[in-house]
A and B are shown apart, each in its own frame.
Chain A
Amino acid sequence: MKKADQWSGLALSILSAAMIWAALALPYGNVHNPGPGFFPLWLGLILGGMSIALFVQTTTAKGSVQTISSILEEDVRWEKVLLVLVALILYALLMDTIGFLGATFLLMVVLLRFIEPQSWKVALAWALAGSVGSYLIFDVWMRLRLPKGFLGI
């Protein structure tokens, strides 16, 4: 299991099994009048077949293929990727409670200050401009009805 596509083939096979299992719970109907489960079941079966084919093809493939270690050991900044994701999830969590303006300001500060380090002054200035500016454009001007939060702004 050194090759990347052995893992993707395996993961997709499991996914297709789940799809088939869920589709079996739906009425299949018959060929004269296919029910809600008809299409999903066949999709699940095709997906399963092709995922297994991918697994087998990769396992027997000769020559250079992408390996799992090449993905894992690539010189990338995982922590930055993770930080962005966490920041976005927190943004969604906070948006309804503290409102668009506040949540956006916090998100922008985090993204500007901690991904590519730059001075607090620059980060805060851009965050303020970004949150107030987008509030004015999208909420006030385009009336997109962004969440207000407890402060009512």
Chain B
Amino acid sequence: METIQQLIFGFGVTLQPINLLCAFLGALMGTLVGVLPGLGPVGAMSMLLPVTYGMSPTGAIIMLAGMYYGAQYGGSTTSILVNIPGESASVVTCLDGYQMARKGRAGAALGISAFGSFIAGTLGVVALSFLAPPLVEAALSFGPPEYFALMCLGLTVLTFLGHGSMLKALIIAILGLCVGTVGMDITTGMQRFTFGLPELMEGVGLVQIAMGMFGIAEILCNIEKTMQVSVFKTKLTGFFPNREDFKRSTGAILRGTVVGFFLGILPGGNAIIASFASYAIEKRISKRPDLFGTGVIEGVAAPESANNAASSGCFIPLMTLGIPSNVVMALLLGALMIHGLTPGPMLMIKKPDLFWGVICSMYIGNIMLLILNLPLIPLWVKVLKIPYRILFPFILLFCMIGVYSVNNNVFDIYLTIFFGVVGYLMRKFEFEAAPFILAVVLGPMMEKSFRQSLIMSRGDFSIFVTRPIPAVIFAIAAFLLIMPMFTKTRQQKIAVLKDDAV
């Protein structure tokens, strides 16, 4: 019951006109970046981070969160109409969504992904509202060893769930931790690896890295080939899926919601893996698995629901523990810190207006997105028709402005270009960027909790295994690390996911 009271209080915050406006702007811009291929929520949120400096912390987080779940809605439009994922969590939607469009059922596909997203997004927020308070309660008793263990698990899960070699993903995560040590040492104030540059004293900025690796590197990869975007020409009528569609999709939406939410809560989990997993499950239990990939509506409903549920779920580790589980949450963590807030269990207790205001804005944001999405689809189609040769200079320009405005310093532009080149090379050599970026953010937090743990135990490493919670967490992490070496399970799992998806 207390949660209900808190929610009423939260809605009071959200319904303030300025916060409603923030939610609306966030949802609208989120849909736009979701629709645009080659610009995802990470790039867009890093661009807008400096703009939020002048806003209230609550408004800023409401807007940035809106961009994230808004992008999950928008991404499906591009997948269905162009067969290119508008953002990475909509990759699987291409399979059946585009086939539906080719059969003249684009309207139904767009409709069901909007409804599925809405139902999953809303159920996800309900679960978030009721799960967060007890988790905060539990998190209050967590000490440095627990935090250290959780962050290790987060990085392990992210590398485990990634595609390609797990060794390479681990290497890139460790490299990220190394980059995270740049800057002033937290306890002694000593300069580390700054090469005498005052700009690096506070560490290498997250926005610069994210913008380089997700913004610039992405554009470099796109312009090296001649990119053709052709919007599927079809009459867009009837966004309401028929009764048959709803009957087929209901189960898929609900299963997608559950799968997505739990993969979202998992440290290291994210919307991309959630959409793949729910598609694979749907295909496995379907009575007509052979039709998947030819334009079945469950194949659109399940992943689109899962990625929205996951995007609600992944707020839980951030809001209750202060640990980001993926790159988007890392950016939100950065935004909170810019506004002088320390994410963690104390956030709910000390800043209830922000905590509940943001959660409630997600209820309203999802309603806004449902209303926005369907009637505005013709507008998004027009946006999709902007040729990439006009679009990419603007994306680059906004990247540059965003990065410059972090500190009003040209140095940050050079840093971003540097990480753009690194990110480009990483793509060429098949290294993933996500574990790197998350590790850069977690690095300083991990080092702090590690050192505090050792001080607590007077140099005794057994503190990480004698306390029950870290012991269990480390056992899981160790299992995930060791398992792929002895079995082919991981390769098989990935292969199954890929086979099921492709």
Contacts and interface: CB of A to CB of B under 8 A. Distances in A.
Contact of B397 (A36, A107, A116, A147): A107
A115 interface: yes
A138 B54 CA distance: 13
A112 B413 contact: no
Nearest to B193: A22
Nearest to B412: A92
Given A8-B429, A57-B167, A134-B397, A40 B178 contact: yes
A117 B6 CA distance: 57
B390 A8 contact: no
Interface string A70-105: 010001111011001100110111011000000010
Nearest to B429: A8
B429 A71 contact: yes
A146 B404 contact: yes
B178 A43 contact: yes
Contacts of B421: 85
Interface string B453-465: 0110011010000
B171 A32 contact: no
A121 interface: no
Interface string B164-178: 000110110011011
A127 B226 CA distance: 21
A115 B424 CA distance: 17
Given A54-B168, A81-B223, A108 B397 contact: yes
Contact of B171 (A27, A54, A85, A112): A54
B455 A80 contact: no
Contacts of B177: 43
A39 interface: yes
Contacts of A66: 429-430
Given A104-B397, A107-B397, A81 B224 contact: yes
Chain B, interface residues (CB within 8 Å), range: 35 or more
Contacts of A80: 223-224
A135 to B, nearest CB: 10
Contacts of B187: 36
Contacts, number: 159
Interface string B422-462: 00100011110000000000000001001100110011010
A64 interface: no
Contacts of B424: 81
Contacts of B417: 85, 88-89, 92
Contacts of B220: 81, 84-85
Contacts of B84: none
B225 interface: yes
A137 B224 CA distance: 30
A72 B234 CA distance: 40
Nearest to A37: B192
B178 A126 contact: no
B178 A44 contact: yes
B392 interface: yes
Contacts of B459: 30-33
Given A26-B190, A32-B459, A36-B185, A51 B171 contact: yes
Contacts of A53: 167
Interface string B47-76: 000110010000000000000000000000
Contacts of B454: 31-34
B23 to A, nearest CB: 19
A89 B417 CA distance: 8
B219 interface: yes
Nearest to B460: A31
A91 B400 contact: yes
Nearest to A16: B178
Contacts of B168: 5, 8, 54
Contacts of A91: 400, 413
Q: Which 6 A-B pairs have the closest CB atoms?
A: A116-B389, A31-B459, A111-B393, A36-B185, A32-B459, A76-B224
30 contacts: A4-B429, A19-B178, A33-B454, A35-B188, A38-B451, A40-B181, A40-B193, A43-B181, A46-B174, A53-B167, A77-B225, A80-B224, A81-B220, A89-B417, A92-B414, A92-B417, A95-B413, A96-B410, A107-B393, A107-B400, A108-B393, A112-B393, A116-B223, A116-B388, A126-B390, A130-B397, A134-B397, A144-B51, A145-B408, A146-B405
Interface of B: 50-51, 54, 167-168, 170-171, 174-175, 177-178, 181, 185, 187-188, 190, 192-193, 216, 219-220, 223-226, 388-390, 392-394, 396-398, 400-401, 404-405, 408, 410, 413-414, 417, 420-421, 424, 428-431, 447, 450-451, 454-455, 458-459, 461
